[in-house]
Structure 1
Amino acid sequence: MRRARLIGLLYLNLATLFWGSTFVMVKDSLATLEPGQINFARFSVATLFFLPFLLGQNRALWWAGLELGAWLFAAYLTQTVGLQYTTASRSAFITTLYVVALPLFMGLLGRRLQWPIWVGAGLAILGVGLLSYDGSPPNLGDLWTLGTALCFTFYIWRMESHTQRFPALPLTGVQMLTVAVGSGLWTLFERPTWDFEGFPYASILYLGVVASALCIWLQALGQRTVPAPQAAVVFTLEPVYAAAFAYVFLGERLGLQGLVGALLIVVATLISQLKGEKPRPEQVTPEVA
């Protein structure tokens, strides 16, 4: 049971590592594409990998995948639109507010949460704030990204339930398909032009294969054994990874405030594992597709 939890944490940390690399690529893609185009292209690529697993699935799995896909579509849309107006670091901070929103919401539903979850969530938010807050005034992008945090709150909450009932690969595939279709419909409102000569093929391929298909599948596997509040705290490592990628590829350096923030986030993820919820019997399932 302990081993299953550790493997689940490994899956979630790998997904967070890859997600931390996406901000630069999305920003780069926004130079030539609209938000709906980016999400339509990346999730269409992601869907291709899961098409064989969608055949013969029952109606219950499709409804579960459609529900999760709807939350995921709203989350990625609001985040991508927000990045048009706000900085990547501020976007990372606002998005991570779901770390606090999720346990508060689940507490309202009656779930008893252990103290490490609350301490970890508080330290994580403080750390992300020190790491990411750039002191500029609020803007329209901040409002859009606040919607991202709310959508991810409900997405992670519902993911915990559905991953106990359905296999990860087809459940992920339905989500990818849902986001791709939703994003395609959104482009009807944007009415964009498609410039295939200046199309960011490499960025879209990475966003589709690694940051979408692989990461959502890893999340589905991880949340089989890791409760949603702990998963949310693990995801706060995303801006730490993002800062590391920015340092390597863009030459951006963290000051003392940013380094303190990164350390607080790491400490938060460790504290959240001290005395967290024990996985229920239905959470410890064979890790098979």
Structure 2
Amino acid sequence: MNSRALRADILLFITAAIWGLAFVAQRVGMEHVGPLTFNGVRFTLGAIALIPLILHMRKRRTPGFTGVGKKQLLLGGGTLGLALFFGATLQQVGLAGPQLAEYGFQASTAGKAGFITGLYVVFVPIFGLLLAQKAGLGTWIGAALAVTGMFLLSVTTDLSVSFGDVLILVGALFWAGHVLLIGKLSPGMDAVDAIKLSTVQFAVCAAFSLVVAALTEEITLGGLQGAAMPIAYGGLMSVGVAYTLQVVAQRDAQPAHAAIILSLEAVFAAIGGWMFLNEMMTVRAMIGCGLMLTGMVLSQLKP
């Protein structure tokens, strides 16, 4: 492995760690603000954080290269932003312990949410069948292992499952659709256009989240102040910094390496839940996590 590839893998590892620990911030933030308020503010910060990167990279663009049109960016970014809104909302509500408890439902934990969300890695090639994309044996074996692992992780011995886990699983379907949409929209874009597209989708997601939050949640200055650190981490680190690292790293990383390393996000979510939230996993749940991680990696090694 050359030095550029090694650097890329290290940056992707850091990205996975930032994204995994973001589940802790998302869980803690729910103690002060509603899920849609949290998402609205953090995606606003994320969109703003990418603007300096766009301005910097535009200066290094190949002279004469105009990129894609504004209409394509706005339409594509709007579509992605809508998919992102549903995926992020379901994930955030699934983690919203105090809010779900008011209605007698149980929220997911940071660790479980990380692994269940990670199932989008398996869902993507399966959904690709609808687009006439072939799925290999590794994909089907990986999917079987992931589903078995999810059962052990989320379904208790009395065959009950938390409402939060269900919401996050449905959200993973939207994350998979989001990835497929990016695959359709991104060909032909350079790095600047790709980051512009992400900025638009973050802004659209933020706008939808804030509008719905204003209609359904109580937004207070005290709540925003209490959730300031989790929101800042979710917006600046998880969206701004981690996305930038991903863009830089994937220029030199092998696609299979990138997907496998980024799937470690689920592991870091579990570690973060244990370290910062005192979340404990049973042996059954640990076996489930192991099977899910194996399924994610296998679906990328032998797609």
TM-score, scaled to structure 2: 0.74
> 2:129 is aligned with what amino acid?
G
Deviation larger for 15-24 or 84-93: 84-93
Instruction: Select the residue among 148, 170, 191 that pairs with 1:147.
Output: 170
Change over 3 Å in CA distance of 1:203–1:119 after alignment to 2: same
Deviations 1:48-91 (A, max 9, x none): 12234389973222322222121111111121122233222554
Q: Hey, what does 2:69 align to over in structure 1?
A: 58
SS of aligned partner of 2:222 = coil
Measure how far apart 1:23 and its partner are. Answer: 2.3
Show the 5 A alignment for 1:151-190. Answer: 151-166=174-189, 167=191, 168-190=194-216
Aligned to 2:283: 256
**Which deviates more, 143-152 or 86-95?**
86-95
After superposition, residues 118-157 of structure 1 pair within 5 angstroms as 118-134=140-156, 137-138=160-161, 140-157=163-180
Structure 1 residue 204 displacement after superposition: 0.8
Which has a greater percent of helix?
2
Amino acid at match of 2:132: G
Cross-structure match for 2:139: 117
Which residue does the alignment assign to 2:124?
A: 102
Q: 1:203 aligns to what?
A: 230
Mean CA deviation greater in 135-144 or 22-31:
135-144
* Identity among equivalent pairs (%): 28
Q: CA deviation at 1:13?
A: 4.9
Q: Structure 1 residues 144, 254: CA separation in 2 closer, same or farther (over 3 Å shift)?
A: closer
- Partner letter of residue 64 of structure 1? G
SS in 1 for 2:219: coil
Partner of 1:21: 21
Aligned to 2:45: 45
CA distance in 1, matches of 2:293, 2:264: 7
Distance 2:139 2:5 in 1: 16
2:96 is equivalent to residue 73 of structure 1: no
Distance 1:32 1:129 in 2: 31
- 2:121·2:296 contact (CA, 8 Å) conserved in 1? no
> Residue in 2 aligned with 1:282?
none
Which residue matches 1:87?
108
> One-letter code of the match for 1:39?
N
Equivalent positions of 1:211-250 (< 5 A) are 211-218=238-245, 231=259, 236-250=263-277
Asked if structure 2 preserves the Cα contact closer than 8 Å seen for 1:47 and 1:177, the reply is: yes
Residue by residue over 1:183-203, the C-alpha shift from the partner in whole angstroms, topping out at 9 and shown as x without a partner, is 121122124131337522111
Q: Say which SS state the counterpart of residue 226 (structure 2) adopts.
A: coil
Q: Is the 8 A contact 1:236 1:265 kept in 2?
A: no
Count of residue pairs brought into register by the alignment:
274
Instruction: Render the CA deviation track for 1:203-242: whole Å, top value 9, x for unaligned.
Output: 11100011122334555667788779x94x7665333221
